[in-house]
Structure 1
Amino acid sequence: MQLLKDKVVFLTGGTEGIGYECAKAYHKAGARLSIISHKEDSLQQCQGQFFGDDIHYILADVSRAADIARAIVETVAVFGRIDVIHNNAGVSNPSKTVSDTTDEEWDKVFNVNVKGIYHTAKYGIEELKKTQGTILNTGSLVGDIGQELHAAYTATKGAVNALTKSMALDYAPFGIRVNAVAPAGVWTPMLRRWSNQQPQAAHIEEYLDGIHPLGYCPEGDVVADACLFMISEQARFITGCILPVTGGAELGYRKYLEQQVKDGKAVLSVDIKAKQA
């Protein structure tokens, strides 16, 4: 059974990582895709390996209102409708405390991770009203529990959680569902870049495996499977939900970090304490 047969999905950040895995899962489930990315090289690379009459690529930046207004109009012109908006585009930099974060860095992460959702809703909601469609936001576990050295990023993901719930209430009268998925660690190009920026980068893989009670840091396909469920009719009575796709990380995250600190192996917090000493 194709869960998304003939559905049109507007997917931001769909050429890499979780977004790309979602694009493949949605297409396999029968969806027609409008894939948005602000990276021209990534867009071209993806076009070369993932293509078809039911896949349309758009170069656009979610932080720019005009880009998203144009992308929504273009998607409707190509496919005639929009059933799903998946706000997956996001950035994680900088890896800093609040006081070390510059104005420019703060604004950039908020403009992409939060204002990007504002733009897709502002310019796409009328299309979703026509189809009684759904919105899915890619959040993060750290939006709920926090994370050292990622003040701006965690703040945006906390905002995504609250925004998801408020939008769910606002748009429920129109039959529109709004949900979010909240992964912990997931191996993506962005996570690998993040890993290289950490104080003890050589131990990051062990750290990421360790924070998940199921024993490993997954690839993006596990999140894509959850996303497919959340935008399908299988989840037709679910709205305002922040779905953890974490391998149980929220259950053992702090306990693992405490043990790492005791053993002198922590890859994040020990360095902060050392700087403060």
Structure 2
Amino acid sequence: MLNNKVILLTGGTEGIGFECAKAYEKAGAMIGIISNSAESIQQASLQLNAKNVHYIKADVANAAEVEQAVQETISKFGKIDIVHNNAGIANPSKALHETNDDEWERLFAVNVKGIYHTTRFALNELKNNKGNILNTSSLVGDIGQEIHAAYSATKGAINALTKSMALDYAPIGIRVNAVAPAGVWTPMLRNWSTQQPNPELIAAYLDGIHVLGYCPEGDVVADACLFMVSDMARFITGCILPVTGGAELGYRKNLYKVNSEKAVTNIG
């Protein structure tokens, strides 16, 4: 599906991003992967074909580092056809008034401004190659989330940004879409689960909020991403694709309580 395509993938060494990297590489793509973690780059490099993958240690919130990463990818593979903006952070899990300035700024710098940086520096390549952009959003960008206001706001911003970008770039042949998961078992979510007052109940809670009855692994999102960046989705743009197991249809947030006042709703 992706033979001879070159993908710039941010946050591609862990969780959903790593599952996407595996799916893209299997489908024939060459991938420039941006990660800010040397350790996760090392771990990922043990599992992916080194011939087809180029790792770049960079922070998507830093314009100069993203510009360099774009140039490195072009130098390595000759072009960029697709940008998948997957890098994101979720901390802190707090109400708005409890979120401090640094936490707010970092969330928006990584989750939203990172998209600005990759688009700014890769746009000419995408224009030349009639490429496309995929952003990783979340169901909470649409329905909100308790005690996670700033994170939810970044995902809502990504949804609006995706649609605006789709309008702006359609005339030059660039599609722009997003995927919006609900709960997905990633290292970040597993770590979060262990920190809850009753971690033994979290798995049942996460299974329960999905109408299909289970919280998936990242491969289900990767399969949807593979379709969206491929030519099979050539007439789809401005779409926020839910990959949620139907969670938005029957959002049962009363299945598990942290305490008498707050429900655990850490999804997406």
Query: TM-score, normalised to structure 2's length?
Result: 0.95
The one of 152, 160, 175 equivalent to 2:173 is: 175
Q: Does 1:272 align with 2:262?
A: yes
1:271 Cα deviation after fit? 3.6
Residue 173 of structure 2 corresponds to residue 166 of structure 1: no
- Could you tell me which runs of 5 or more consecutive residues in structure 1 were left unpaired when the two chains were aligned: none
Distance 1:63 1:103 in 2: 16
Query: Partners in 2 of 1:177 and 1:197 — Cα distance?
Result: 39
Question: 1:140 is matched with which residue: 134, 138, 141?
Answer: 138
2:214 to 198, 213, 216: 216
Percent of aligned positions that are identical: 66
Q: Distance in 1 between matches of 2:127 and 2:65?
A: 21
Is residue 257 of structure 1 aligned with residue 253 of structure 2? yes
Aligned residues, how many? 263
Q: What is the aligned partner in structure 2 of residue 65 from structure 1?
A: 63
CA distance in 1, matches of 2:258, 2:253: 9
Of residues 27, 32, 40, the one that matches 1:29 is 27
Question: How far apart are residue 194 of structure 1 and its match?
Answer: 2.4
Residue-by-residue CA offset, 1:126-149 (whole Å, 9 max, x unaligned): 110110100000000000001111
How much is the aligned-residue C-alpha RMSD, in angstroms?
A: 1.3
Q: What displacement does 1:47 show?
A: 1.2
Paired amino acid for 1:266:
K
Structure 2 Cα separation of the partners of residues 238 and 198 of structure 1: 39
More helix, by proportion: 1
Please, what TM-score do these two structures have when normalized by structure 1?
A: 0.92
After TM superposition, the runs of 4+ consecutive aligned structure 1 residues lying more than 6 A away are: none
2:17 match: 19
Structure 2: any 5+ residue segments left out of the alignment?
Answer: 264-268
Question: Matches of 1:202 and 1:271 in 2, distance apart?
Answer: 20
Alpha-carbon spacing, 1:153–1:199, altered in 2? closer, same or farther (3 Å): farther
2:243 and 2:262 map into 1 onto residues whose CA distance is 28
Paired residue secondary structure (1:10): strand
Q: Bigger radius of gyration, 1 or 2?
A: 1
Q: Partner residue of 1:113?
A: 111
Give 1:119 shift.
0.5
Give the Cα separation in 2 of the matches to 1:208 and 1:272: 16
